[in-house]
Amino acid sequence: MMKKFMCAVIIVMMFAVTSACAKIKPDVDLSKMNGVMAYSGLFNVMCNPPAYEGKIIKVKGFCDSTHDDDTGKDYYAVVLIDGSMCCMIGVDFVLKSGKYPKVGDMITVMGKFEQYKDGEDTFCRLSDAELM
């Protein structure tokens, strides 16, 4: 009985370790950078979208939202302010699942960077995103 219990515990622990190792790691992690570098990093991503297409990007900033009256859609973005508080930059995100945060909340978001068309215009966003 004891042996069966120990085997079950070991199997569960191995499963937990394997799951932790299989966790997705970001290709570009801006969440660990200071204000100046995180702002510059996201600026470079947004100015050169093809180079980051399909990459997993992790960003920390505050949540903002806007409502489009024409389409009736709500758009959520994570916004960064640079170190001297004079400039802001953000990127849209679409959650894989779950509830969206409140506007003004400090969030860390990780998702796949992609370009998409909305009408005639091309935009960038983090798709299949998760709140960390």
Partner 1 sequence: MAEKLSMYLAFPFVQNTLIVGVLIALCSSLLGVVLVLRRFSFIGDGLSHVAFGAMAAAAVIGFSDDMPFILAVTIICAVILLKSGRNSAVKGDAAVAMLSVSSLAVGYLLMNVFPSSSNISGDVCTTLFGSTSILTLSENDVRLCVILSAVTVILFVYFYNRIFAVTFDEEFSTACGTNAKLCNVFTAVITAVVIVLSMKLAGALLISALVVFPALSAMRVFRSFMAVTISSAIISVSCALAGMLVSILAGTPVGSTIAAADMIMFAVFFVMGKILGRR
Binding site for partner 1 (CB under 8 A): 28, 32-37, 39-41, 43-44, 47-48, 82-84, 86-88
- Cβ at position 99, least distance to partner 1 in Å: 30
Nearer to partner 1, 12 or 51 (CB): 51
Instruction: Please state the closest distance from residue 113 (CB atom) to partner 1, in A.
Output: 15
When the beta carbons of 50 and 72 are compared against partner 1, the nearer one is: 50
The least CB distance from residue 35 to partner 1, in Å, is 5
Half-sphere exposure of 90 (CA within 13 A, CB side): 16
Spatial CA neighbour of 80 closest among 100, 63, 102: 63
Q: Which structure tokens are listed for 43?
A: 């600026």
Long-range Cβ contacts of 99-104 (<8 Å, 24+ apart): 100/63, 100/65, 100/74, 100/76, 101/63, 101/76, 101/131, 102/63, 103/63, 103/64, 103/65, 104/62, 104/63, 104/64
CB nearer to partner 1: give 100 or 123: 123
Residue 90 Cβ, how far from partner 1 at the closest point, in Å? 13
